Amino acid sequence: MNTLSELENYCYQVAGTVGCMVFCILSRNSIENNRKAVINVGIALQLTNILRDVHEDAMADRYFIPKQLLLKYDIQKQVLLESKPDIQTQSLLQYLARLALSKYAETDVITNQILDRKGKVALELSINVQKDPNKINEK
């Protein structure tokens, strides 16, 4: 993966499309009016997965961090193999985390349109567990 745009496209293909399908199942509203929000939350979920597994993925020779960002933050791929990230790697991961959080901002747009209580709670819980695993203790 070379660019941030390619990473976002990958995240869309992996999770954004699934989000569109789930939204259509759980909501009676048109996906057309909500597509952007649904896709953004799907991208956020996949970015969260990537951030959570950076070290494990690197150990398996899988790299999802774009070369563009590795260059910008002056990080060599092999640094991702280290169990404790250095300052540059922490900065890069924080940048991607802020990007994910900005996309999670549209969660309420989606969940407020789910009429079935069980479906709504299940969706909110799955998003909150990804976004912040500590939140499940607050519910």
pLDDT at 136: 45
Residue 132 has pLDDT above 80, yes or no: no
pLDDT tens-digit map of 36-89: 999 999 999 999 999 999 999 999 999 999 999 999 999 999 999 988 899 999
Please check whether residue 41 is in contact with residue 101, taking contact to mean a CB–CB distance below 8 angstroms.
Answer: no
pLDDT at 30: 83
Give every CB contact of residue 82 below 8 A, 6+ residues apart in sequence: 55, 89
pLDDT at 93: 95
Instruction: Tell me which of 3.20.20.70, 3.40.50.1950, 1.10.600.10, 1.25.40.20 is the CATH number of domain 4-128.
Output: 1.10.600.10
List the chain domain ranges: 4-128
Q: Percentage of the chain with pLDDT > 90?
A: 64
pLDDT at 83: 83
Query: Residue 134 — pLDDT band, cuts 50, 70, 90?
Result: low
pLDDT at 48: 94
Give every CB contact of residue 125 below 8 A, 6+ residues apart in sequence: 136, 139
Average pLDDT over residues 3-11: 97
Average pLDDT over residues 79-104: 94
